[in-house]
Structure 1
Amino acid sequence: MESNKQEKSMSIVMLPYLAHGHVSPFYELAKRLSIKGFHIYFCSTPICLEPIRNINHFDHDHMNIHLIDLQLPSSFHQELPPHYHSTTNLPPHLVKTLLAAFDASKPAFSDILKTLRPELVIYDVFQPWAVEAARELNIEAVLFSTSVQSQRIKYDVTYLIESNKELMEYLLENSVNGLTPIQRFFQCVTSSSGHVVLVKSSTEIQAKFGKPADVFGDLVPVGPLVQRPQDHDGDEKIMDWLNKKEASSVVFVSFGSESFLSQEEIEEMAHGLELSNVDFIWVVRFHGGHNNVKTIHEALPQGFLDRIQIQGKGLILDWAPQAKILAHTSSGGFVSHCGWNSTLEGMMYGVPIIAIPQGGDQPLNATLAVDMGVAIEVPARGEKKITRQEVAKAIKTVVVEEQGKEVRRRAKELSENWKKKEDEEFHVAVEKLLQLVQQSKN
């Protein structure tokens, strides 16, 4: 097969769901495909594309990626203004409205496809209408699954029901336009061209699940697709602080862009970090300004900021370059909500995880990380709340104490293995896509 010739001539439209946890891995996949010579049309709402447009040197580094604005129908704008065309900071009562508006954007998406005439569409798990739009124009369409949750459904629905009833209730009961999330998912899986489903995963993770049912076709790992460390304005202070710390001595604390601790949990986390006596960087976020807490000073225990500043023990930030911090030699632990992107970043950079899952697929991700030997979990599921003692104990175990030696060793080992196999796994995925499109042409 003349791969180079085919790669250079092949164009792809990519359509992620309107959430940062979906847009980010889709964009990482777009970057890897663009390096291979594919022409990528990355399609989403303007608010979802805004962070990508703000990336330094975008035009120079990724000339094969073109950003395409998808406008949600104006009939939704009164209830759902453009700054809510993303799940980030979206009020909970508007979640279903956003999905309904996304569904209603099929005509606009079809117009984009008619104009661009790509050879392939890569779509997400919540929009079966994207496959319909592609098929109506005789364009192949392949599903890209960005979470381990959807991969686990492929193997064992019973496991999900028993391990995370709250998640399964959401997947089975929250209907929009007559479709529950689980129905959307299965429609997207079974409609994927050639029964090929790309998964943000590795062969090592896939091996943990065993063989999927035949209905799910060919699951093709594209690798972890973690962000590469990038320079941002204001990084110097953080990097200077890290550079002064010993190797593997700092714990990084972040709960992602859409998970937020309560006031009580913030206080317990603060005391836990102090009790651990481990240096830390903590990203403290509040939900879209709706939280009653107005400032970090009001959220944190009295005197906490003064104490850590005097001692030089920690940095409190409202945003941080996560990949850059995790890749730093001083990082020795990652307190995480275990969103799938964050979990894979911790694994890829060899930083053992202190798991405190909040909801959704995060408990499943935490369990997987523990099973793979690269994490320990703070007991805080269900009715059990985060306590300072458990936080301090977990951090000290992972970063300092002898009993955490095996977790630290396994994290480094997994990271080295993944880095060796990353290009090979991605090459296999690329060949699958080329074969699929070529067969369609023939």
Structure 2
Amino acid sequence: MDTKQTTKMRVLMQPWLAHGHISPYLELAKKLANRNFTIYFCSTPVNLTSIRKRITQEQSLSIKLVQLHLPSSPDLPPHHHTTNALPPHLMPALKSAFDNSVPEFSAIVKTLNPDLVIYDYNQPWVPTIAAELHIPAVEFLTPGAAMCSLSLHRYNKPGVEFPFPEIQLKGFFQTRFRRAVEETFREGNRMQGPLTALENSFKIILFNTCRELEGKYVDYLSILTGKKIFPVGPLVQEIVNETEETEVMNWLDKKNDSSTVFVSFGSEFFLSKEEIEEVAHGLEISGLGVAMEVEREEDGRLSRHEIAKVIRKVVVEESGEGMRVKAKEFCNNVRLRGEEAIDELVEELVQLCKEKNLVKIKSGQLY
């Protein structure tokens, strides 16, 4: 499919200040840049410094880095304008500073006057700013579609059973979610920001997932939101000749196939000493040096025996053979389908930009 445009489209992208958001945004930027888009990638100077080395000289011709300066504060110096290595107690200050950067971002939009803006879950002001200039704004969500559809279902349809019983909140997580909903109403609807950001995405919403993995949840999200959902992932960071990654690959090359488990908890989750010990013991008990949920105790704690049980099942036991086969098939299918999904997205984005005069504000809502 020929996706090259005769006129180069200009897209402004602004992810949340966490690398778990910045990374897929950057990979999407690269894929769009390869299809004759000019990308303006907006973030704080400290974040832009960290990703600059991931942009090749050729890519830099189409991907321009735009600095977003947060309001200055003695409690939050510029090197803390990122979630990377941010002390947990400063997270509220960072979120507040980001919310207060609206005038700065508004000035950026007016200066660049892009054809399209792509924004993150916690930026409800972006569609309004863009609409004032008749610029379509589209939300790109980096979490999975299953969890987002479950959360949106529980918020929009309290008391109604989620239509996919294989995905359910149990024990610790059910209690935690119920508490979060109660706090939402008690604090004056704290979730309205993300919900408004979702509602005001112009006609479509992008997700860092793929149909092969989450097709039915993607379709259900379309029903819940009334918008077309575009899976554009999984967007995985490409290797750009970095020493650390070369060392990791050399280390993996010495391991037998299906013998290594990658354990990740995200960039904003901090394990306690006890949890680190439980994970280490669980890995040790498994006897091993594919991802699956590890059940937590009722109080939310991790159990070493549960960790070991899950790893054994996924990696070595006969009962997990079907899962291992499916994982390999999934990887092959995603590689083949990934670029097609981006090509389809490009066609949709081009069409949205042709409809920019339809972007209007009515009673605080976009339509």
Give yes or no for the alignment of 1:121 onto 2:117.
Answer: yes
- Residue by residue over 1:379-429, the C-alpha shift from the partner in whole angstroms, topping out at 9 and shown as x without a partner, is 225425333333223222222221221111111122122222112222211
- Residue by residue over 1:336-359, the C-alpha shift from the partner in whole angstroms, topping out at 9 and shown as x without a partner, is xxxxxxxxxxxxxxxx11xxxxxx
Match of 1:134 in 2: 130
Instruction: Confirm or deny: 8 A CA contact 2:5 2:36 kept in the other structure.
Output: no
Report the 3-state secondary structure (helix = DSSP H, G, I; strand = E; otherwise coil) of the residue aligned with 1:115: helix
Q: Decide which moves more: 39-48 or 132-141.
A: 132-141
Change in Cα spacing, 1:69 to 1:390, as seen in structure 2 (3 Å) is same
Change in Cα spacing, 1:221 to 1:381, as seen in structure 2 (3 Å) is farther
Change in Cα spacing, 1:169 to 1:95, as seen in structure 2 (3 Å) is farther
- Distance (Å, rounded) in 1 between the aligned partners of 2:84 and 2:287: 33
Gaps of 5+ in 2: 163-167, 359-367
Give yes or no for the alignment of 1:222 onto 2:221.
Answer: no
Residue 195 of structure 2, aligned match among 186, 206, 221: 186
Instruction: Confirm or deny: 8 A CA contact 1:161 1:168 kept in the other structure.
Output: no
Deviation at residue 26 of structure 1 after TM alignment: 1.3
Alignment of 1:94-243 (within 5 A): 94-148=90-144, 149-157=147-155, 158=158, 159=162, 164-167=174-177, 169-170=179-180, 173=183, 180=190, 182-193=191-202, 195-204=203-212, 205-208=214-217, 210-211=219-220, 212-213=222-223, 215-243=225-253
What is the total number of aligned residue pairs between the two structures? 341
Letter in structure 2 aligned against 1:117: N
Give yes or no for the alignment of 1:249 onto 2:255.
Answer: no
Match of 2:275 in 1: 265
Deviation at residue 88 of structure 1 after TM alignment: 2.7
Alignment of 1:320-331 (within 5 A): none
Match of 2:363 in 1: none
- Distance (Å, rounded) in 1 between the aligned partners of 2:91 and 2:189: 14
Match of 2:70 in 1: 72
Letter in structure 1 aligned against 2:4: N
Give yes or no for the alignment of 1:391 onto 2:307.
Answer: yes
Deviation at residue 174 of structure 1 after TM alignment: 6.0
- Distance (Å, rounded) in 1 between the aligned partners of 2:276 and 2:299: 17
Instruction: Confirm or deny: 8 A CA contact 2:9 2:37 kept in the other structure.
Output: yes
- Distance (Å, rounded) in 1 between the aligned partners of 2:80 and 2:87: 9
Letter in structure 1 aligned against 2:231: P
- Distance (Å, rounded) in 2 between the aligned partners of 1:114 and 1:210: 35
Report the 3-state secondary structure (helix = DSSP H, G, I; strand = E; otherwise coil) of the residue aligned with 2:13: strand
- Distance (Å, rounded) in 1 between the aligned partners of 2:188 and 2:44: 24
- Distance (Å, rounded) in 1 between the aligned partners of 2:2 and 2:326: 40
Report the 3-state secondary structure (helix = DSSP H, G, I; strand = E; otherwise coil) of the residue aligned with 2:230: strand
- Distance (Å, rounded) in 1 between the aligned partners of 2:264 and 2:2: 45
Change in Cα spacing, 1:263 to 1:428, as seen in structure 2 (3 Å) is same
Letter in structure 2 aligned against 1:380: R
Letter in structure 1 aligned against 2:277: E
- Distance (Å, rounded) in 2 between the aligned partners of 1:28 and 1:18: 15
- Distance (Å, rounded) in 2 between the aligned partners of 1:416 and 1:44: 34
Letter in structure 1 aligned against 2:211: T
Instruction: Confirm or deny: 8 A CA contact 1:48 1:86 kept in the other structure.
Output: yes
Give yes or no for the alignment of 1:48 onto 2:28.
Answer: no
- Distance (Å, rounded) in 1 between the aligned partners of 2:343 and 2:231: 10
- Distance (Å, rounded) in 2 between the aligned partners of 1:81 and 1:235: 30
Match of 2:365 in 1: none
- Distance (Å, rounded) in 2 between the aligned partners of 1:140 and 1:255: 34
Deviation at residue 64 of structure 1 after TM alignment: 0.7
Instruction: Confirm or deny: 8 A CA contact 1:131 1:191 kept in the other structure.
Output: yes
- Distance (Å, rounded) in 2 between the aligned partners of 1:199 and 1:28: 13
- Residue by residue over 1:125-183, the C-alpha shift from the partner in whole angstroms, topping out at 9 and shown as x without a partner, is 111111121122222111112112334444453458886442464466369x9761x20
Residue 378 of structure 1, aligned match among 294, 315, 321: 294
Match of 1:58 in 2: 56
Report the 3-state secondary structure (helix = DSSP H, G, I; strand = E; otherwise coil) of the residue aligned with 1:5: coil
Instruction: Confirm or deny: 8 A CA contact 1:189 1:216 kept in the other structure.
Output: no
Gaps of 5+ in 1: 280-351, 354-374
Instruction: Confirm or deny: 8 A CA contact 1:3 1:434 kept in the other structure.
Output: no
Change in Cα spacing, 1:221 to 1:171, as seen in structure 2 (3 Å) is farther
Letter in structure 2 aligned against 1:415: C
Give yes or no for the alignment of 1:409 onto 2:325.
Answer: yes
TM-score, scaled relative to structure 1: 0.70
Match of 1:12 in 2: 11
Deviation at residue 260 of structure 1 after TM alignment: 2.6
Change in Cα spacing, 1:61 to 1:39, as seen in structure 2 (3 Å) is closer
- Residue by residue over 1:234-272, the C-alpha shift from the partner in whole angstroms, topping out at 9 and shown as x without a partner, is 445433332222222222233232223221222222233
